[in-house]
Chain A
């Protein structure tokens, strides 16, 4: 029952997303633009940053960025649905509240997965080399992180029910996370104080772990911390998300 309900919600979400060409095009063009417009800047200085291949440094950062931001803003769609009465209509059915959330998250996760594949595939053309298996694991971490963010975003959407409240909250979270996680440039090139601040950023460990995975280093402390943090965030996101979807029910 639960999986059937999840599938019904997922299918509905995906169907509507695929009918919106803007959603498909923007989703695919985003990673391509980053690769084409930002990659070349990084190539000449990769050596200085301690990487043999600029793209094993760059692509993991982009993956995490996709995972974070694509998913963090997923909640906006939910507010529109709530306003149209869809959420209420679904909540009055006997369907599991968790399925209502999970079906939506799965759509975001699928989007992220496809974007990640496109990104990695394209990066090969630009000269990415590394461990294929590591890249697969890196993509899995990304997808889990994205699921956590999508769940949190949906929870925030259902709590605030207002784009005007949600946008500033998300932006004030997104910017420091982007800057302090070493997504575009590794934090190791920064001054001491910046590195210390960034130590408090779970996403920094995830980016670093994916970078190591890309180069084929599976069993390092860095990888371990990245995996742990991903699992912690994933569990926390799902917990908060389901709790919000269950709230107010008799």
Chain B
């Protein structure tokens, strides 16, 4: 559905003359998305997600590279690309003081659909996206979640086979986000759509996507299923908390025997990564017992996508999320 090679975009920066600094927003990315996949484009703010999406949706000319989207070349067949895709931009798609139903009908009609068809399809989408009764409502009088669902309905009015969603849940409360996730998964179930979405939320990428492309500073640093990405991290994080700080050293020694990484000790807390922690923990506890080391607690954390991001880039995604 999407095949991009060396796609790059440079912006002329601010400043004058020779001081002018170029911003390499996207520094040559390769992307392959197959039919029916839900693929997440994960990266911190400013990583180049929106810029990549705008190139794939014919809104922005790449400075280098090629891309075919839905079988058409974005550079030479932009009309065909536009007909085949839906795009829900980060900033929304409706005027705050327009009426929702009229916005979606006008949008559909710009795709060449008849007014009647556009209305029928619009009302159907309103029903599917829990927007019943909001047909004449103005977007400014809608909740954030409703507005976002309206944006998605707008992007679907012409039945595209491929949908681009730019940060679909940013700024929504947890409940609205979870609700939107269901609707996005439904797109594939109900319409067989291929979905390419960007997010800087790890849980979103984890919950929603078959495959994740991790982007940082304009380059893709990893691409795999969420599970495979997490498996790259060497082991689960095991954290022991001992009652007596004097026994921390002894506990660290025992943990080191099964650990795959160095052991971190912080007064009463001792932690390390352990591959297959589930198998190793019973033995560890017996050994701690035998050495009469008193444990206050033990915690095992599966690797998260944040750990993946941290390992790949040396920075945590959470800090700027």
Asked if residues B91 and A85 are in contact (CB atoms below 8 Å), the reply is yes
Query: Which residue from chain A places its CB closest to the CB of B85 in the assembled complex?
Result: A92
Encode A94-115 as 1/0 by CB contact (under 8 A) with B: 1100000000000000000000
Number of A-B contacts (CB under 8 A): 87
Closest-CB distance, B161 to chain A (whole angstroms): 15
B45-84, CB < 8 A from A: 55, 57-62, 74-75, 78-79, 82-83
Contacts of B61 in A (CB 8 A): 248-250
Q: Are B59 and A249 in contact (CB under 8 A)?
A: yes
A29–B80 CA distance with the chains assembled, in angstroms: 47
The CA-CA distance from A80 to B62 in the complex, in Å, is 27
- Our pick among A9, A83, A86, A250 for the contact of B55 (Cβ within 8 Å) is A250
Q: How far is the CA of A16 from the CA of B57 in the complex (A)?
A: 28
1/0 per position for A1-41, CB-CB distance to B under 8 A?
A: 10011001101100110011000000000000000000000
A125 at the A/B interface (Cβ < 8 Å)?
no
Q: Is A88 an interface residue (CB 8 A)?
A: yes
Q: Are A92 and B57 in contact (CB under 8 A)?
A: yes
Asked if B109 CB lies within 8 Å of chain A CBs, one says: yes
Do A8 and B91 form a contact, CB below 8 Å, given A92-B82, A94-B83, A250-B55? no
Q: Which residues in B have their C-beta under 8 angstroms from that of A15? A: 98, 102
CA distance A183 to B79 in the complex (A): 46
> Min CB distance, B238 to chain A, in Å?
46
How far is the CB of A202 from the nearest CB of chain B, in Å? 31
Q: How far is the CA of A20 from the CA of B98 in the complex (A)?
A: 11
Taken together as a complex, chains A and B put the C-alpha atoms of A8 and B110 apart, in Å, by 7
Whether A91 sits at the interface, judged by CB under 8 Å, is yes
Interface positions, chain B 70-123, Cβ under 8 Å from A, are 74-75, 78-79, 82-83, 85, 87, 89-98, 102, 106-107, 109-112
Q: Which label, helix, strand, loop or mixed, suits the secondary structure of the B interface?
A: loop
Q: Does B89 lie within 8 Å of A93, measured CB to CB?
A: no
**Interface size class of chain B, counting residues whose CB lies under 8 Å from the partner chain:** 20 to 34
**A163 interface residue per 8 A CB criterion:** no
B93-A85 in contact (CB<8A) = yes
Shortest Cβ distance from residue B154 to the other chain A in the assembled complex, whole angstroms: 6
Docked-complex contact B110 and A93, CB < 8 angstroms: yes
B110 touches A16 (CB 8 A): no
Given contacts A20-B97, A250-B78, whether A88 and B59 have CB atoms under 8 Å apart is yes
Q: Which residues of A contact B89 (CB under 8 A)?
A: 85, 88-89, 92
* Nearest-CB residue, chain B, relative to A19: B97
Please name the residue on chain A nearest to B80 by beta carbon.
A94
B91 touches A83 (CB 8 A): yes
Complex CA distance for A133 and B139, rounded to whole angstroms: 46
A90 contacts chain B at the CB level, 8 A cutoff: yes
Q: Which residues of B contact A86 (CB under 8 A)?
A: 93-95
**Interface size, A (range):** 20 to 34
Please give, as numbers and ranges, the residues of chain A lying within 8 Å of B75 by CB-CB distance.
250
B96 and A5 contact, CB distance less than 8 A: no
Contacting A12 at CB < 8 Å: which of B57, B90, B106? Answer: B106
A199 within 8 A of B: no
B59 touches A94 (CB 8 A): no
Min CB distance, B8 to chain A, in Å? 14
Please give the distance in Å from A149's CB to the nearest CB on chain B.
23
The residues of B that contact A91 with a CB separation of less than 8 Å are: 59
In the complex, what residues of B have CB within 8 A of residue A88's CB? Answer: 59, 87, 89, 91, 93
How far apart sit A85 and B166, CA to CA, in the bound complex (Å)? 12
19 contacts between A and B (CB under 8 A): A4-B109, A12-B98, A16-B95, A83-B91, A84-B92, A84-B94, A84-B95, A84-B96, A86-B94, A88-B91, A88-B93, A89-B154, A92-B59, A92-B89, A93-B82, A94-B79, A94-B110, A95-B110, A248-B61
Give A residues with C-beta under 8 Å from B: 1, 4-5, 8-9, 11-12, 15-16, 19-20, 80-81, 83-86, 88-95, 248-250
Q: A84-B96, A94-B112, A248-B59 provided; 19 other pairs, C-beta below 8 A?
A: A12-B102, A15-B102, A16-B97, A20-B97, A81-B95, A83-B91, A84-B93, A85-B89, A85-B91, A85-B92, A88-B89, A88-B91, A88-B93, A89-B94, A92-B82, A93-B82, A249-B61, A250-B59, A250-B74
Which B residues are closer than 8 A to A by beta carbons? 55, 57-62, 74-75, 78-79, 82-83, 85, 87, 89-98, 102, 106-107, 109-112, 151, 154
Nearest first, the 5 closest Cβ-Cβ pairs linking A and B are A89-B93, A85-B91, A85-B92, A93-B110, A95-B110
